[in-house]
Structure 1
């Protein structure tokens, strides 16, 4: 390990700035999960399954919106892409705490779609500012910074929720909007100057080609029809060919290796959201809701330590193996008997949290070209939120039916099973087909 890598990385002013902006922008939503859960359970007097449903709707919205938001950053630039998010964050989360449960679900979905894309923007910018082996350290630093925020955010959210979850959720929306304005002001780079210039040139060529086609209809009519069907009306075959070509052009960057990383992201989201709900439920069941911050501090501090160690390593570890180990180590949290024992049992899986996310982000940055990296990071975030959407309600249902301890067994077992299934599928996809 070489801990001097961190000193070298933090000497780079743009990287320091991006990390600081990321911490500030992530803080509001780090408290939102606990605030929403306790708002539904305590203020609205609903169960944990209902709270999990709200969390699932939010994450479904994020999963739908993240690729679109990432693609907008790629095509129109960061500042224009963030304006809708700034407006939506301020309006929706100011209305949500005053809505009925049914309208809360609707607002949560819309709010998720327009959530400030902090994760993808910060990771995309770090992918530009750091290259090669530097990316491991840069992404590890971002994971460490994120864990520091999540040590404070949920604890603060729990304290505020015991007093007024309405004020807390409103504060989340307004502070998220301010964070978006801060991102617009600093405008961190999401593309190298060379790539930006090449995209501009490509756009000019495409515009010229479109203009040439538009002004030559007579020539097209006079030309003989080819048997390939290029000049035929839009029949089923032509439509299928266009659809196939369009999908190949839009998703040609999705290789088997990229799909495996997305599977890791799904498993990580499922594991983290289920563990999150399980921690709140177990501490709440003991009548000590205000102590939930103790567990989150231990869990996130362990993740920060794990991120520091991983970022200083000179070799890469497969994100699949890291996720498998994290899933297995999460299951013993079911045997906790109180806040202190739960905090201690959260340390082993917590040590692997930041390394899982750092390793997966590094793989995306390495596998996807720069001009599509914003979209790729958006899909990576969508995969994680899809896992979160699946994990939160299932864990909440298990907690309501069986007990708080069951959420940890479900979380660890499901994530481990997903890894094993993905590894099996990858083995058969990569296995050479025998000659006939």
Structure 2
């Protein structure tokens, strides 16, 4: 294994501390949905629909707030945004156990709108600390850190809610968010490189950087997490139908380990791989998962090809966004990508659930995988057409020395 790309990325000033702090800071962030669900169901004694509505309110707030906070980082700097969001989100989770359900819905919306932007800040800082040619392994490390945090956070939320109390899990989230915000405030990672000063004389218009290609990357970011969200639900449904639901944790853990392996390999490859191709392959590999057998071990084996593409899909799309936008708007662009990822996760689970309820568990994989493959292949085909046009476009002949010198002589 060639570990040189990782060694070179981690040797850059500030990268190791950024990776460590953001890994730990993401853990309380990944606890939020499960902690809120357990509180609404167990303490408030509402149904799962009410819990889902609270989670949806928080998700909507996060999707709307991410680009707004990113834009604020671009214009005012990181620390004011960290101070605002740390206080606001920690206050929401600290007071949530005192809220009746209607107030909780409004609080979840506001808490999502002003949530600590750990994910966006991490990706933006990677782009500032790492030169473009070395970002692939850096974003691979970042995507693996996301995977690790999702392996720890939800499990910790369930453990606290069941062994202590749901209110205790909310308070732990509050404390964790506060510590994460303080750590990021202390670290104060750069949001642009030293050679990328913010141009305050002329703000960059969205028309200049929100290009069709960037919109395509945002679309496939949504498609990739839609596939992942649908896979989560479909795994549970398949194992429940086979009366093997007790193996759910192990199957999902195997899937997560495959994602880590895929992210690790992606960071070592010497040639760039298009995120459009990765997401297309992720969708194609997801379609047949449910038809590979009903035993837990056969389902785990069927998940392997798609599993190794999960972290690479997230890393490749983040790297693409960092390459396509100028430094002065990188925070807003990363916020838009975070919104795209959030929307995909929010759509994937109910879409797979609706398909499963109307047909069979295996079709949950097929439906979400097909959407991911169609979106990825559509943008991939458009990219190939544009590439062919650029190649076929005639170029004007190079000027001769005499004609090149003519303007100077005149």
TM-score by length of 2: 0.83
Deviates more, 1:291-300 or 1:347-356: 291-300
2:57 alignment partner, SS class: helix
In the alignment, is the contact (CA less than 8 A) between 1:89 and 1:115 conserved in 2?
yes
Give the aligned partner of residue 21 of structure 1: 21
2:210 to 242, 254, 265: 254
Residue 180 (1) aligns with residue 181 (2): yes
In the alignment, is the contact (CA less than 8 A) between 1:334 and 1:406 conserved in 2?
yes
In structure 2, do the counterparts of structure 1 residues 312 and 349 end up closer, same or farther at CA, with 3 Å as the change threshold? same
What is the CA deviation profile of residues 129-185 of structure 1, one whole-angstrom value per residue up to 9, with x for unaligned ones? 111220011111111222222222233333334343332233223211210111001
In structure 2, do the counterparts of structure 1 residues 131 and 58 end up closer, same or farther at CA, with 3 Å as the change threshold? same
Residue 296 (1) aligns with residue 252 (2): yes
Number of matched residues?
Answer: 389
In structure 2, do the counterparts of structure 1 residues 55 and 81 end up closer, same or farther at CA, with 3 Å as the change threshold? same
Residue 374 (1) aligns with residue 331 (2): yes
In structure 2, do the counterparts of structure 1 residues 54 and 321 end up closer, same or farther at CA, with 3 Å as the change threshold? farther
Runs of 5+ unmatched residues, structure 2:
390-410
What is the CA deviation profile of residues 91-111 of structure 1, one whole-angstrom value per residue up to 9, with x for unaligned ones? 222344565554443332222
For residues 325 and 279 of structure 1, what CA distance do their matches in structure 2 show?
19
Give the aligned partner of residue 286 of structure 2: 330
Does 1 or 2 have the higher relative contact order (CA < 8 Å, sep 6+)? Answer: 1
In the alignment, is the contact (CA less than 8 A) between 2:13 and 2:129 conserved in 1?
no
Residue 148 (1) aligns with residue 148 (2): yes
For residues 285 and 92 of structure 1, what CA distance do their matches in structure 2 show?
38
1:252 alignment partner, SS class: helix
Matches within 5 A, 1:66-215: 66-96=66-96, 99=99, 101-163=101-163, 164-196=165-197, 199=198, 202-203=199-200
Give the aligned partner of residue 209 of structure 1: none
Give the aligned partner of residue 305 of structure 2: 348
For residues 127 and 332 of structure 2, what CA distance do their matches in structure 1 show?
13
In structure 2, do the counterparts of structure 1 residues 5 and 420 end up closer, same or farther at CA, with 3 Å as the change threshold? closer
Give the aligned partner of residue 224 of structure 1: none
Deviates more, 1:340-349 or 1:86-95: 340-349
Deviates more, 1:335-344 or 1:168-177: 335-344
For residues 400 and 290 of structure 1, what CA distance do their matches in structure 2 show?
21
For residues 375 and 251 of structure 2, what CA distance do their matches in structure 1 show?
26
Runs of 5+ unmatched residues, structure 1:
207-245
Give the aligned partner of residue 305 of structure 1: 261
How far is the alpha carbon of 1:52 from its aligned partner?
Answer: 4.5
What is the CA deviation profile of residues 330-372 of structure 1, one whole-angstrom value per residue up to 9, with x for unaligned ones? 2344356365544443332120011111111111111111111
In structure 2, do the counterparts of structure 1 residues 53 and 283 end up closer, same or farther at CA, with 3 Å as the change threshold? farther
For residues 93 and 241 of structure 2, what CA distance do their matches in structure 1 show?
28
For residues 97 and 357 of structure 1, what CA distance do their matches in structure 2 show?
34
Question: RMSD of the TM alignment (CA)?
Answer: 3.2
Matches within 5 A, 1:421-436: 421-423=378-380
Deviates more, 1:24-33 or 1:366-375: 24-33
